[in-house]
Amino acid sequence: MSCAEYALVLGCDLSSDGKRLGPRTIARLEEAYSSLETGCKNIVITAGISPYHHGKKETMAEMMYNWLFLRGCPGEDVIVLRAKTFNTRAELEAFFEFLRGLDNPAVSISIFSSSQHLRRTRLLVAQMYGLDVANSIEYHPVKGESINFRNRFILEPLKLVYLYLPAGWRKKLKPSLVKVFHNPSY
């Protein structure tokens, strides 16, 4: 597997009490960490604070950093950013804002996530930054991982369909769909 200068690891899940990373996030971190041996220069983590764990001050990105550090990943190889909200769009915004601040913003990029999530991430990048940017990224699906909605495998396909809707429809539907897409009680 080849890798880029910056490997963005998209956060995914936390334990029910919010104190530990979930297995899907750990699988993504393990794969990104092993990519340092194949040429990746930096792992970038951007997840924000989970809205489901009130009073928690540590961002998911900080938890991901600590997990990598405890496994021997050199701290200088990890860049921790803070997304403004707890979703993929905010993680991408934080990441691309960081890239714009570089001396050479034309760097190579890899993104690590599940194959289902990467389909939506590619479309989101194309909508936010253009098709050329979306096509220039190396997408790394993490093996054996799938995102699902209480094991019914519908959450990511629904989020993908939502992105294909006209912008006016998305704006009208967003308040009610955010509750469905991000409510852990569903």
**Residue range 136-149, pLDDT digits in tens:** 999 999 876 555 44
Q: 68 or 60: which carries more pLDDT confidence?
A: 68
pLDDT class for 154, splitting at 50, 70, 90?
low
Average pLDDT along the chain: 80
Where in the chain does DSSP place strands (E)?
Answer: 6-9, 42-45, 78-80, 109-113, 138-141
Amino acid 163: pLDDT: 73
**pLDDT over 90 at 126, yes or no:** yes
Structure tokens at 44: 């970038």
Residue 130 has pLDDT above 80, yes or no: yes
Greater model confidence, 46 or 1: 46
Closest to 10 in 3D by CA, of 114, 120, 128, 138: 114
Helix, strand and coil percent figures for the chain, each rounded to 5: 50, 10, 40
Query: Which two three-digit tokens encode residue 154?
Result: 């519908």
Q: Where does the pLDDT of residue 52 fall: very low under 50, low under 70, confident under 90, or very high at 90 and above? A: low
pTM to 2 decimal places: 0.79
Residue 55 has pLDDT above 80, yes or no: no
- Per-residue pLDDT band for 122 (boundaries 50, 70, 90) equals very high
In this structure, which amino acid lies at residue 17? D
